[in-house]
Every structure is written in C-alpha cells, then in structure tokens.
Structure 1
C-alpha cells in the first residue's frame, strides 16, 4: 500500500520537474526583465512551495483513489478532474516561461483554478482529508493567479512576437 501512496505522491512532480528543466534558463534572463509586483514572493520560495504542494495533492489523489477502490467507474469524475487540473498546472510553466505567452498563461491559471475547485467539490464526499490537503494549493493558486494577472497587465510588450 505504501508503494501506491508514494507513487501517487511523486507523480505530480514529473510535470513540474519537466517544466523546470525546459524553462529554467528563462528565469535569470526573460523573467527577471519583467515588471513584477512588490508583493511577489522571492524566486527561492517557489521550488519549496511547489514541492510541498505537488506532494500534498499527489497524496490526496491517492486517498481518493484508495477510497474509491482504484480506477473504476466511480473514479472517472473525481480523478478525471484531478488529471485535468494537473495537465493545466503542468502547461502553465511552458506557456509562461517557455513561450512567453502571458495571456495564455493567465487563461490557463484561471481555468486551473476552476478545475481545482471542481476537483475539491468532487472529492469532499469521498475523502474530506484529501479535500483539505488541496486547500494550500488553492491558496497558492490564488496568489499565482493574481501574480500572473499583474505580470500580464504590467508587461504588454514582453510576449514573444508571432513569427508569421
């Protein structure tokens, strides 16, 4: 049973690590050139926060999977919503840091926020602990959404130009 818990807890880190590997060179160059709000957390805080959040959401998904008896018809909606939000989560970094598409990153994070709310709503009757484990993630997404909006608003010319 511990192997399943470990696997579910580790799974979200795959996309986070891949996104970081693909875009890490953009932080000291392009990202540092952006106008950012004064309340933005320091860069060193992001890996610590995301490691904690990915582990928590992964373990939460394990609790739901376990309570539903695995991947079956009862799991389609709650774990489907979780998978969809995870895909949007993983897409944000390449959109923002890789493609420099601030507008698409903003749309992504707002859709992500809605999917996380939907995930939590679907999980609540199944496992309240799993739902509570998603609360810090939702709180961080509130900050991330606000930060993405402010960066998009304050840097209208910092998106990559389309090459037609």
Structure 2
C-alpha cells in the first residue's frame, strides 16, 4: 500500500465549501500578478497561435473549472467515506494524491509562464498537469462509478487546449529576442 495522505488532505474535500474554495483560492493566488505581465511589453510582444480565446474568457473558464474540480474532490471523498471495498478506497486515495499533484502543477503554471517568462518550462508543466489530471480523472471515474467524470472531463479538454496554446507560443517565439523586463 502506498503512503497515506495526511488527514487534513482528506478533511478539506469533506466540506463542499472548502473543497471548492481551495482550488479557487489557489488559482487566484497563482494568477494574482498576471495582469501586470499581460499588460507589459514581454507578453504584448509574443506571437500567438490561431484560436487564442479572448482575455475575458480565462477568468470565467478557470473559475468554472476550479469549482468543478473542487466539487469532484468532494464527491470522491464522499464516496471514499461510504465505500465498502478496499480497492475502491485505495483507488480514491490514489486519485486524491493525484488531485493534489495536479493542483500543485496548476498552481505553478502561471508563475512559470508569466512571472518567470518561460513558455517552455510552462509547457512542460502543462503536459505534466494534463497527464496527472487525466490519470486522476480515470481513477475517480472508476471509483465513483462516473459521478466525477462530467466535472473533470471539461478540465481535461481545457488542459489539452492549454497545451496547444502554450506549446504554440513557445514554438512561435523560440529564438526571438523578447524583452525580459517591463
């Protein structure tokens, strides 16, 4: 059996308000300094791929996705608490570990991309984030009889789109002499 998560990491998603609030708060903290960078010369000088959503879409989409992922964690822990089979408990436990891994990778993306101004490192983070989220989604799907899947599949799809946008930004701007400071 794999190492256990600390008890408080199970307690947070047991309360739906905390379960939803945690990813929203982390997302807000992660992106708090992005507006300054987006308005600055580095970001404004980047080349972007076709299909980039309007700026207003990002806070709306991310708030919805953070809400969905938080509620999915609540549903998963609720199922864990009712589970009879040890395999179900173990699958949810493993899925919850991956939940916190993806939450950490999600938290790091904005500072890597916007503050460190490193599209390549952010792309690597986005690929790891997408992989960990898809794996977590599968684990939660299996253990919750699909109850979490409608909440997490849009997140997986959006992250796939993030890979396209982020990877394209890196590719289109590689080798360019971009301003590093605003």
Task: Give the TM-score, by structure 1 length.
Answer: 0.89
- Which 10-residue stretch deviates more, 52-61 or 10-19? 10-19
Alignment match, 1:51 = 63
Q: For the structure 1 residues 53 and 136, does the alpha-carbon distance in structure 2 shift closer, same or farther, using more than 3 Å as the test?
A: same
Shift of 1:124: 1.3
Alignment match, 2:19 = 8
Superposition map of 1:1-164 within 5 A: 4-29=15-40, 30-69=42-81, 74=90, 75-127=92-144, 128-156=146-174, 157=176, 158=178, 160=180
* Structure number with larger C-alpha Rg: 2
Shift of 1:132: 2.1
Stretches of structure 1 that go unaligned for 5 or more consecutive residues are none
Residues 12-57 of structure 1, C-alpha deviation per residue, up to 9 Å, x if partnerless?
0122111221332101112222100131000110000000000001
Q: For the structure 1 residues 160 and 10, does the alpha-carbon distance in structure 2 shift closer, same or farther, using more than 3 Å as the test?
A: same
Distance 1:80 1:14 in 2: 19
Q: For the structure 1 residues 101 and 55, does the alpha-carbon distance in structure 2 shift closer, same or farther, using more than 3 Å as the test?
A: same
Residues 102 and 159 in structure 1, CA contact (< 8 A), matched pair in contact too: no
Residues 12 and 55 in structure 1, CA contact (< 8 A), matched pair in contact too: yes
Q: Matched residue of 1:38: which SS?
A: coil
Distance 1:152 1:66 in 2: 41
- Which 10-residue stretch deviates more, 28-37 or 139-148? 28-37
* Number of positions where the alignment pairs a residue of Structure 1 with one of Structure 2: 157
Stretches of structure 2 that go unaligned for 5 or more consecutive residues are 1-13, 83-88
Distance 1:38 1:120 in 2: 28
Distance 1:150 1:50 in 2: 20
